[in-house]
Homo-oligomer: A and B are copies of this chain.
C-alpha cells in the first residue's frame, strides 16, 4: 500500500514507523530530530518530514519541545478496540463474500489455515514476540483477503497505533487456549463463504482480545 518512493524521507518514515510499532521506543519518550538523524545517517530534514507524518498517524504527539511517543490511555485503548473490532468484522465479512463469489484463490484460503496453525505453534513456544507476530500475520492475511485496499490500510493504521503501547498478552493461559478456536471459527466461516458468521466470529474475537489487552504505558 505504501509506495516506496526513492528518497530517504520515505525510508526514514517507514523505518521509524516500524520501530514505533515494534515498541522500540517507550511511550512518552521524547524523540529529537538530531538523535534520529544521527542514528539513521541522514540530515534533519528527512527526519522532520517523517516526524510530520508520524504526527498525522498519531504514533507521536506534539510536546512542548518536539514530539513524544504516543501513549494509550485505557479509554483510548477501549475506543481503538471498538473501531478495530468493527473493521476486522468487515474484513472477515468481505473475505467470506469474496470466497462465496469464487473470487478468493484456494491457495489464499489455505494460507489462512496455515497462519492459524502458525499462531498456535507460536503460542506454544511462549515467546510473546513471535506469538504477536504470527497473530498479526494472520490478521493481515484476513485483511488482504477482504480485497479492499482502503480497509486494509485503515487496519494497518489501527494495528500500528495499538502496537505502539501494547504487548499482545498471548502468554495468558486462558487467552492462549481460546485464541486458536476463535481463529478457526473466523477462517472456517470465510472458507464456507458465510459473511455473517465470519463477521460475528471476527467481532467476538477482537472483543476477547480487548479483554486480554495489557497496556505498557
Q: Is the CB of B52 within 8 A of A149?
A: no
Identical copies of this chain, number: 2
Is A151 a contact of B82 with CB atoms below 8 Å? yes
- Residue from the list B52, B80, B94, B149 in contact with A150, Cβ < 8 A: B80
A76 cross-chain contacts in B, Cβ below 8 A: 149-150
Residues of B within 8 A of A45 (CB): 45
* Chain B contacts for A114, CB-based, 8 A: none
Bound-state Cα–Cα, A48 to B79, Å: 33
- With a CB–CB cut-off of 8 A, which chain B residues contact A154? 83, 154, 157
Q: Write the A11-54 contact mask toward B (1 if CB under 8 angstroms, else 0).
A: 00100000000000000000000000000000001001110110
Complex: A90 Cα to B86 Cα, angstroms: 7
Contacting residues of chain A (54-96) with chain B, CB-CB under 8 angstroms: 55-58, 61-62, 76, 79-80, 82-83, 86-87, 90, 94
For A58, the chain B residues whose CB sits under 8 A away are 153
Question: How many angstroms from the CA of A50 to the CA of B55 in the assembled complex?
Answer: 11
Judged by a CB distance under 8 angstroms, whether A158 is at the interface is: yes
Query: Which residues of B are found within 8 Å of A3, using beta-carbon distances?
Result: 61-62
Which A120-138 residues sit within 8 Å CB-CB of chain B? none
Which of B83, B87, B150 contacts A79 (CB under 8 A)? B150
A-B contact pairs, 5 of them (CB 8 A): A9-B52, A50-B52, A79-B148, A86-B90, A150-B158
Pairs of residues from A and B, 9 with the lowest C-beta to C-beta distance, nearest first: A86-B90, A79-B148, A49-B52, A5-B62, A53-B56, A83-B150, A83-B151, A79-B150, A80-B150
